Amino acid sequence: MKYFEINYPYFAIIAANDEVECLEYYKKIIADDLDETEFHDSIESLERTTVINKLASTCGEDSHKVPIGIEEAKKQILESDRSNEPSILALDGSLV
């Protein structure tokens, strides 16, 4: 899997096989009225270690604003790799 950070119109970190799959998944799950030009301008490919560090500082849905930490971040990355399906690893807090 590859990892992508999107910042427009909503922040997300998505695991996908490629940028095309990432775009389709983002449109399906987050913003179906997406301006694709702006999407491509805001997408950034991330290295695995960068994703782990970013995820470690995010808060889980049920963690009461406590960061999930490195071990949980690694676990989420491994699960996304095993599934080989696109998945959202982090999402703009305004959408949760």
Higher pLDDT, 65 or 33: 33
Summarised one tens digit per residue, pLDDT across range 16-44 is 999 999 999 999 999 888 888 888 899 99
Output the pLDDT for position 24.
94
Is the CB of residue 4 less than 8 Å from the CB of residue 90?
no
pLDDT at 11: 94
CA nearest to 67, candidates 54, 55, 57: 57
Q: What is the predicted pLDDT for the residue at 63?
A: 56
Beta-carbon neighbour count of residue 24 at 10 Å? 12
